[in-house]
Structure 1
């Protein structure tokens, strides 16, 4: 059965290359002036899921830059939690006293998006999007955070589109198995489980396994952008074939499990056939993340299947370039791209080392 390989969009890959250097954000004319004010609030020291709060904010902004979002949406990504929200207590700016300061820094339009994103009910928003509960024009009435009875706010179609796209970038940057365990059934979180009883699940960072259901949920968020009132308001993210296809929960979970079984060496190790078939099935079930395809490229190389390795490595590189963040959080996005380029180079040139120790000094040429 033919595998669903992606061709490499060289224009997209070129944009991704420009974002591999962590200093990219310091050279952005819109984002760079904001950094000193944000950094002085200690975001580089705050813990946040798979890294620090700085890593998270930069990573969300990176995906939005890669997706060519307008500057106010990129600024929203960089500042999307600075007033705090229902999910985190990381309040870096006091919404009661410091809105004017942030408005002076990023402009009223961007600050309005940030404030609204922080104060609205994110859970209700995600649920309404997943249920396609939009107004006819693509707008949405939403509750604000706080005790009942809650105030409501009317989102414009552009605000809905922006918040969907930022939510996609926000989720792909941070979600991995530890969050999946403690934040079960998000956005409808299971609050019944006590920490002392489920202490093993709470040990951070845990096994760093990729999530089992979030890619499916992200594909549904992306599909919502095809609503007639939302389509065309903002650049469409280049994931899920420009947000036109979805992944089922069942396929998402199965693909993640199959991939992880190879990573954990739960397959026979004497030859490569079983691991190859398992990874190929993972790619068939979920062809929208790069890591299974990248590992498969290396397995193909080990088996002497250079032509197949080229296809797998190119496809993996396309997926990494489309997301701007890693699905498998064990290493950073730029590291996944670097190793994938090594695999593609080796497959193209037929130079995969025969000796194990030679893997230690592979380098990209040109």
Structure 2
């Protein structure tokens, strides 16, 4: 479901919650969120995934635990970006990064480790969306990181490529100088 809330209203909500005042990867969180959204949009992702990119870490994540939006406001966020996008945002904040990467090696059915040590089952589509979101999140901020860390998680990203649609996969291949896959992702 696509919402009728304008991009400007979504950004205004984020600003009301101070995301433009939180430091993130040598920028501010709002700049990062908009950058992830813009990458997803440039890759031709559906609007729900782009909206998830705009909000992807507002509840906090394992790596960026500073949540700007209280989890109690999930219904409000859902009203702004729709149920599918908000579910992805919640999953992105709930699961561990290792869980997302481990699932690339283990494959379906996808059972991801949460930040609290539990597990959550997700659909194949949700895994693909989380993989694309993970790639966009990383590639957006990667240029601001020291050269020595820009190729981190290469093994994991190389394996994750099989679950990515062609455009994000090509962006990842270019960034890491991976040899392109010879068969399309499923």
Fold shared, TM-score > 0.5 on shorter chain:
yes
Q: CA deviation at 1:215?
A: 8.1
Name the structure with the higher helix share. Answer: 2
Q: Conserved in 1, the CA contact under 8 Å of 2:25 and 2:144?
A: no
Larger Rg, first or second structure (1 or 2): 1
Q: CA deviation at 1:222?
A: 5.2
Kindly indicate whether residue 58 of structure 2 is the aligned counterpart of residue 82 of structure 1: yes
> 127, 152, 161: which one pairs with 2:102?
127
1:1-12 correspondence to structure 2 within 5 Å: none
Specify the SS of the correspondent of 1:175.
helix
Counterpart of 1:117 in structure 2 is 92
CA distance in 2, matches of 1:86, 1:134: 22
Q: CA deviation at 1:221?
A: 5.0
Specify the SS of the correspondent of 2:147.
coil
CA distance in 1, matches of 2:77, 2:158: 33
Counterpart of 1:236 in structure 2 is 166
Q: Which runs of 5+ in 1 are unaligned?
A: 1-27, 179-207, 227-234, 253-285, 289-366
CA distance in 1, matches of 2:166, 2:7: 21
Kindly indicate whether residue 123 of structure 2 is the aligned counterpart of residue 145 of structure 1: no
Counterpart of 2:82 in structure 1 is 107
Q: Conserved in 1, the CA contact under 8 Å of 2:103 and 2:111?
A: no
CA distance in 1, matches of 2:115, 2:88: 15
CA RMSD of aligned residues (A): 2.9
Kindly indicate whether residue 31 of structure 2 is the aligned counterpart of residue 61 of structure 1: no
User: What TM-score comes out, normalization by structure 1 length?
Assistant: 0.43
Counterpart of 2:141 in structure 1 is 174
1:174-323 correspondence to structure 2 within 5 Å: 174-175=141-142, 178=145, 208-209=146-147, 211-214=149-152, 216-217=154-155, 220-221=158-159, 223-225=161-163, 235-237=165-167, 239-240=169-170, 286=177
Counterpart of 1:316 in structure 2 is none
Counterpart of 1:72 in structure 2 is 48
Q: Which runs of 5+ in 2 are unaligned?
A: 180-186
Specify the SS of the correspondent of 1:98.
helix
CA distance in 2, matches of 1:177, 1:71: 26
Counterpart of 2:14 in structure 1 is 38
Q: Conserved in 1, the CA contact under 8 Å of 2:26 and 2:144?
A: no
User: What TM-score comes out, normalization by structure 2 length?
Assistant: 0.80
Paired residues, number: 176
> 112, 116, 129: which one pairs with 1:162?
129
CA distance in 2, matches of 1:151, 1:238: 29
1:74-131 residue CA offsets vs partner (Å, 9 max, x unmatched): 1111111011111112211211x211111111122211111111111222211331xx
Q: Conserved in 1, the CA contact under 8 Å of 2:22 and 2:28?
A: yes
CA distance in 2, matches of 1:79, 1:211: 25
